[in-house]
Homo-oligomer: A and B are copies of this chain.
Amino acid sequence: MMSTIAENLARMKVSLPKPAAPAAAYLPFVQSGKQLFVSGQLPFVEGRLSAVGLVGRDVELEAAKAAARHCAINILAQVQAAAGDLEKIARVVKLSVFVASAPGFAEQHLVANGASEFIAEAVGERGKHARAAVGVASLPLNAAVEVEAVIELA
């Protein structure tokens, strides 16, 4: 018997935060057909960014990977707000992972694993997703990582 996403999160000792309020003239998510587009999430933990600066200079790999996980937790919080129930996730379709990267840092895929592994563990088979991971020059508020998602709802 498969456990629910809520059961998985409880086992992982992850509480979903109150989703971040819409900033400015955009929304945290929009549904188009069955696809839920979740806006780029920053690694906010209790109102503060968990990792700030460039990965490979200001932020170590492990801290960046944890920040990617925080972004993914915030994505699930948005999905819960959008769908009401995480069990309505039919499939996590795609994650785009943007890593603020110091010159020469080339392990964006390992940073992104922090998001991918969290989603896979929390959501299970339906959580296995396509992905792109790239190294950007900088991110809003100097965040070290930003993750956006396309989720298919049932």
Name A residues whose Cβ lies closer than 8 Å to a Cβ of B: 23-30, 32-35, 37-40, 91-96, 98, 100-109, 112-113, 116-117, 119-120, 128-142, 146, 148, 150, 152
Q: List 26 A-B contacts (CB under 8 A).
A: A25-B113, A25-B116, A25-B120, A26-B95, A26-B128, A26-B130, A27-B129, A30-B91, A32-B35, A32-B152, A33-B35, A38-B130, A39-B130, A39-B131, A40-B131, A40-B132, A98-B132, A101-B137, A101-B138, A108-B140, A132-B148, A134-B136, A134-B139, A134-B140, A135-B137, A135-B139
Chain B residues with CB under 8 Å of A102's CB are 137
Best-surrounded residue of A30, A34, A37, A119 (most CB of chain B within 10 A): A30
Copies of this chain in its oligomeric complex:
3
Query: A146, B132: Cβ atoms under 8 Å?
Result: yes
- Closest chain B residue to A132 by CB distance? B40
Task: Determine the distance from Cα of A107 to Cα of B140 in the docked complex, in whole angstroms.
Answer: 5
Smallest Cβ distance from A46 to chain B, in angstroms? 20
Task: Determine the distance from Cα of A52 to Cα of B46 in the docked complex, in whole angstroms.
Answer: 38
- Say which residue of B33, B109, B119, B141 sits within 8 Å of A140 (CB atoms): B109
